[in-house]
């Protein structure tokens, strides 16, 4: 399917060549302003760099030629440097017929030659449960992966699990010191929550030790380094990297608790993964890369044995790659992970890292190091940098336990949806089980849409209650419109016959068809920008157009059978595109609400 502008372009190129003896291959179009007659507007001013003359006269000449050459161009008018072009109703009806007959409308079919893209998201630490920040990360990465796939690329949804390091050892030390053998089964807690509690406990006890040492005369810096718990965590990390059996066994046990908890959260959230990478595996490959870089003088070693790279010539600074005791840092494992992913996916044409904007510098350095190491595929790496999620009560801090837990948030969203829906009487007549499923769909739909409708680069102030609104730019409003159309379609099962192309369209019908025609290019635009917000806002605009049509034009009550067939077909396609666009956002489309 092509937009009106792409269908006009070949004829415009011929008109310019044959009438003005000039060559123009790109044209600027915009929607015709409501006060003027027309369906699309050519900006003539944009042609003046090639065509010399009066823009009004140029517009008149082009308009006349288009009207003569294209039977679906029925008229035109020129306002200053703008050519407003009128398109026949039959053109739009034929477009609707093509849309309704298209399989997977808007999507590009995959084949053996389709490019392959990896999208990384989630990438949690195994010392705490997923929180609100992870929610934006997962929803954004999952949606981007679906949009990229719809645009014509094979996608591998992946994550790197940060399952080693000093932060993991902190939870392990706290459990060893204060846990008394507690397990998820004995505590009744999800494993990720249990381990997270010990991470918070470590911070609490660590601060107490620091205060005690400062009281004995040590400086704050000395106290932080000498606190017994921190010393134990450092020693545990060293023993883990040395493969000490007891430490490794505890590490495996506590991580297994966390993985089980994560999986439950992902299932509720509705996100999936195709591959998993673990820092505990890839950091060793990262160390090999650093040895390679040292041998080629890309990196250098300081007197204390630590390994660095100097990026000052690139406008950055020196970056630590390996500590003096030989232990790895985040950059070590990220280098190893990138190489392992390429080895596992040698045909990949891109890798998208979905990571918050506080890591912008880190990825700038990572990509630069990989390029210096000589990997051509480093040119195709992209950091999908997104803004933080703020709450009215302030910033979240994991080690202090002041985070919004992802599981708790999703329960709250379901409960909020239930409360609002019951107040509005929206779900009367449904069974308790049906209502429970709907509350879940509406609550999560509200959460996902609220987060995804915002450009990824922008910060979000999250307000659960305003997100579950059945009116306005919200997920439930779009879900409700889809369900409303399903109600219409259930009553229109006896309609037969093809769409009559000779019918005269209501202006609202025409506007809906115009918007439907934009869906394929909207998917491409969203994929190129890595922005689900493009899809979300397209969906909202479609819903507004349909509701205006629904409130002002009779569908099932229309006496003319041909007009009724047209309107039901139009409703059917609006529903199909809404369902597909919601799917790209990871949102359910309930058939009843």
Q: Where in the chain is the domain with CATH 1.10.730.10?
A: 406-584
The rounded distance, in Å, linking the Cα atoms of 125 and 573 is 43
- pLDDT confidence of residue 399: 45
Fold that domain 4-88 belongs to in CATH: Gyrase A; domain 2 (3.30.1360)
Full strand arrangement of the beta sheet holding 348-356:
275-278, 154-161, 116-120, 348-356, 381-386
- Answer whether 133's CB lies under 8 Å from 356's CB: yes
- pLDDT confidence of residue 426: 66
The CATH class given to the 406-584 domain equals mainly alpha
pLDDT truncated to tens, each residue of the chain (593 aa)? 578 999 999 999 999 999 999 999 899 999 999 999 999 999 999 899 899 899 999 999 999 999 999 999 999 999 999 999 999 999 999 999 999 999 999 999 999 999 999 999 998 999 989 988 899 999 999 999 999 999 999 999 999 999 988 999 999 999 999 999 999 999 999 999 999 999 999 999 999 999 999 999 999 999 999 999 999 999 999 999 899 999 999 999 999 999 999 999 999 999 999 999 999 999 899 999 999 999 999 999 999 999 999 999 999 999 999 999 888 888 999 999 999 999 999 999 999 999 999 999 999 999 999 999 999 999 999 999 999 887 766 544 444 445 688 999 999 999 989 988 887 776 777 888 989 999 999 999 999 999 999 999 999 988 877 888 888 899 999 999 999 999 999 998 777 778 999 999 999 999 999 999 999 999 999 999 999 999 999 999 999 999 999 999 999 999 999 999 999 999 999 999 999 999 999 999 999 88
| Cα-Cα-Cα-Cα dihedral sign, residues 541, 542, 547, 552 | positive
The rounded distance, in Å, linking the Cα atoms of 252 and 347 is 33
The rounded distance, in Å, linking the Cα atoms of 479 and 484 is 9
- Neighbour tally for 457: CB within 10 Å: 12
- pLDDT confidence of residue 392: 67
Q: Which residues contact 150 (CB under 8 A, 6 or more apart)?
A: 106, 107, 108, 523, 527, 584
**Can you give the length of the chain in residues?**
593
Counts of helices then strands in the chain (DSSP H, E): 21, 14
Q: How far is CA 179 from CA 172, 247, 256, 463, in A?
A: 9, 15, 17, 36
Q: Where in the chain is the domain with CATH 3.30.1360.70?
A: 4-88
Q: What tokens were used for 86? A: 């009128």
Helix (H) or strand (E) holding 310: strand 307-310
In terms of DSSP bridges, do strands 381-386 and 154-161 run parallel, antiparallel, or are they unpaired?
unpaired
The phi, psi pair for 108, rounded to 5°, reads -100, 125
Tell me what percent of the residues of the chain surpass a pLDDT of 70. Answer: 98
Task: Give me the torsion for CA of 571, 572, 576, 582, rounded to 10°.
Answer: 40
- Answer whether 422's CB lies under 8 Å from 446's CB: no
Q: Where in the chain is the domain with CATH 3.40.50.620?
A: 119-162+274-404
Query: Where does 119-162+274-404 sit in CATH, by number?
Result: 3.40.50.620
């Amino acid at each position: 399917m092509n937009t009106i502008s792409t269908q006009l372009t070949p004829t415009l190129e011929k008109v310019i060549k044959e009438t003005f003896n000039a060559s123009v291959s790109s044209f600027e179009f915009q929607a015709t302003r409501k006060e003027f007659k027309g369906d699309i507007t050519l900006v003539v001013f944009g042609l003046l760099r090639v065509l010399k003359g009066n823009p009004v006269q140029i517009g008149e000449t082009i308009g006349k030629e288009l009207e003569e050459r294209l039977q679906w161009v029925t008229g035109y008018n020129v306002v200053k440097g703008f050519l407003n072009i009128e398109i026949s109703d039959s053109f739009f009806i034929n477009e609707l017929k093509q849309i309704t007959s298209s399989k997977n409308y808007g999507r590009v079919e995959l084949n053996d030659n389709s490019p392959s893209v990896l999208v990384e998201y989630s990438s949690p630490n195994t010392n705490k449960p997923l929180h609100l920040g992870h929610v934006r990360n997962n929803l954004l990465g999952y949606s981007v992966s679906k949009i990229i796939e719809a645009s014509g690329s094979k996608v591998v949804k992946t994550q790197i699990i940060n399952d080693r390091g000093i932060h993991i050892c902190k939870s392990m030390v706290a459990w060893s010191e204060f846990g008394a053998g507690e397990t998820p089964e004995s505590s009744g807690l999800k494993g990720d929550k249990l381990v997270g509690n010990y991470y918070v406990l470590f911070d609490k006890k660590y601060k107490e030790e620091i205060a005690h040492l400062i009281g004995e005369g040590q400086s704050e810096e000395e106290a932080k380094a000498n606190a017994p718990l921190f010393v134990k965590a450092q020693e545990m990390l060293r023993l883990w990297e040395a493969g000490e059996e007891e430490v490794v066994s505890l590490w495996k046990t506590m991580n297994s608790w966390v993985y089980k908890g994560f999986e439950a959260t992902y299932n509720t959230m509705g996100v999936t993964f195709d591959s998993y990478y673990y820092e505990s595996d890839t950091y060793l490959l990262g160390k090999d890369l650093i040895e390679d870089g040292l041998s080629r003088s890309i990196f250098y070693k300081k007197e204390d044995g630590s390994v660095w790279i100097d990026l000052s010539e690139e406008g950055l600074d020196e970056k630590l790659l390996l500590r003096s005791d030989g232990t790895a840092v985040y950059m070590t494992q990220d280098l190893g992970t990138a190489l392992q992913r390429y080895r596992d996916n040698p045909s990949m044409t891109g890798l998208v890292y979905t990571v918050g904007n506080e890591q912008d510098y880190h990825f700038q350095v990572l990509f630069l190091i990989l390029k210096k190491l000589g990997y051509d595929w480093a040119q195709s790496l992209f950091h999908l940098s997104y803004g933080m999620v703020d709450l009215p009560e302030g910033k979240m801090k994991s080690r202090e336990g002041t985070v919004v837990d992802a599981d708790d948030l999703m329960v709250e969203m379901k409960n909020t949806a239930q409360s609002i829906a019951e107040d509005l009487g929206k779900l009367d007549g449904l069974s308790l089980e049906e209502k429970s499923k709907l509350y879940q769909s509406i609550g999560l739909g509200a959460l996902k849409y609220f987060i995804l409708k915002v450009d990824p680069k922008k910060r979000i102030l999250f307000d659960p209650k305003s997100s579950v609104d059945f009116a306005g730019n919200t997920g439930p409003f779009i879900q409700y419109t889809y369900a409303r159309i399903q109600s219409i379609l259930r009553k229109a099962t006896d309609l037969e016959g093809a769409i009559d192309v000779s019918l005269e369209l209501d202006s609202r019908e025409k506007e809906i068809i115009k918007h439907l025609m934009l869906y394929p290019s909207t998917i491409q635009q969203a994929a190129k920008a890595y922005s689900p917000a493009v899809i979300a806002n397209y969906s909202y605009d479609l819903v507004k157009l349909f509701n205006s049509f629904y409130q002002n034009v009779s569908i099932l009550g229309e006496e003319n059978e041909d007009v009724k067939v047209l309107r039901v077909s139009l409703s059917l396609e609006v529903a199909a595109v809404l369902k597909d666009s919601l799917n790209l956002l990871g949102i359910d489309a309930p058939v009843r609400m």
